[in-house]
Amino acid sequence: MSVRTSAYASDALPGETVDVVVIGGGAAGLNGALMLARSRRSVVVIDSGTPRNAPAKAMHGFIVLDGTPPTELLKRGREQVRQYGGQVVFGEVTSAEPAAPAVDGDLRFTVSLADGGTVTARRVLVATGLRDVLPDVPGLAEHWGHGVVHCPYCHGWEVRDEPIGILAVGPASIHHALLFRQLTDDLVYLTHGTDLDDDTRARFAARNIRIIDTPVQEVMTSEDGGIAGVRLTDGTVVARRVLAVATQVQARTEGLDGLKLPMEDLPDNMGRRFASGMAGTTEVPGVWVAGNATDLTAQVGASAAAGALAGSHVNALLAIADTDAALASAQTGTTA
């Protein structure tokens, strides 16, 4: 699920080669760009304007910034990147691929946008985030980010003591239920066709988690526009004010096939991510990945930290490349 935000004032794409292009203008991408810009690197952020947390009123679990609206965080992030000379371009990446090496032997990448613009960069930081895939239950998607939540740390306090239903999607929902049980005494586990063994049923019973095995037919809307409950396939209505769903999560890969980045599947069909190593390094030289695109459970603070780490690592390796080029130039000059 993603919601496109209104376009903001966009910088123009530079005509010259930049040090780094950051694909994705969320917490990870902007913090990576901030580290690079503060290191006096020329950096361009390409932002499609479709942040994962756009439906949320506020983000939580990030010290000092707890309760800040996501749009405000991103606005301030863009301002700070620009304060240090970085550029932020509102656009959609349609392709990204290695280009022919420059004369100095350094890496080059070409990134193309939907409007026909292109930018060339020495390095690439992918911070595209992820997409949440909800179960196909009528009425569920309409309440996403409000009455339908996925993260007990992001939204749990705000739904505490409410009648909550766990809409199961697989084994991950079992742990989900235990986390939300910490937040309410009125918790129902809707198996919705998923398996639940006897041991788990006993553990749920010990925690007063009611189990309903009849599948869910639809999510019902209340007069105030929130969730009234769920209707089961046998016609029974289970009153609930909140539904918690462990969504399937998919790293956003649109336009990135040309980079040939390796991917990894999560167990139990819970999602797919970009594979990465220390500081967001990948098997593709010159390309890093940070944030939810590679760490599918990272909250805003963790994504921002990962972006900062990746940005500093990119800068460190660029410093080595710059020195190698200077040495080669000096040696060539001496020989001549």
Give me the average pLDDT of each 10-residue run along the chain (336 residues): 59 95 97 98 94 77 88 94 98 94 81 96 96 94 92 92 97 95 98 96 98 97 95 97 94 96 89 95 97 92 96 97 90 63
Q: What are phi and psi of 288, to 5 degrees?
A: -115, 160
For the chain, give me the number of helices (H) and strands (E)? 6, 19
Query: What is the CATH number that goes with domain 137-237?
Result: 3.50.50.60
How far is residue 58 from each of residues 220, 250, 288, 299, measured CA to CA in Å?
25, 23, 28, 13
Classify residue 140 by its DSSP letter.
Answer: S
Domain boundaries, the chain: 18-131+248-335, 137-237
Q: What is the pTM of this model?
A: 0.92
Residue type, 68: T
Query: What is the CATH number that goes with domain 18-131+248-335?
Result: 3.50.50.60
* Bridge partners (DSSP) listed for residue 216: 232
The sheet with strand 237-239 has its strands ordered as: 216-221, 227-232, 237-239
Residue 335: its H or E element? helix 300-335
Q: Would the CATH topology of 18-131+248-335 be identical to that of 137-237?
A: yes
Rounded to the nearest 10 degrees, what angle do helices 300-335 and 27-38 cross at? 40
Rounded to a whole number of angstroms, the distance between the first and last alpha carbons of the chain is 60
Q: Give the per-residue pLDDT at 336.
A: 40
Rounded to the nearest 10 degrees, what angle do helices 27-38 and 70-83 cross at? 20
**Which residues have a Cβ under 8 Å from the Cβ of 238 and sit 6 or more positions away?**
165, 188, 190, 212, 229, 230, 232
- Residue corresponding to tokens 């939300």: 180
Q: Give the per-residue pLDDT at 49.
A: 87
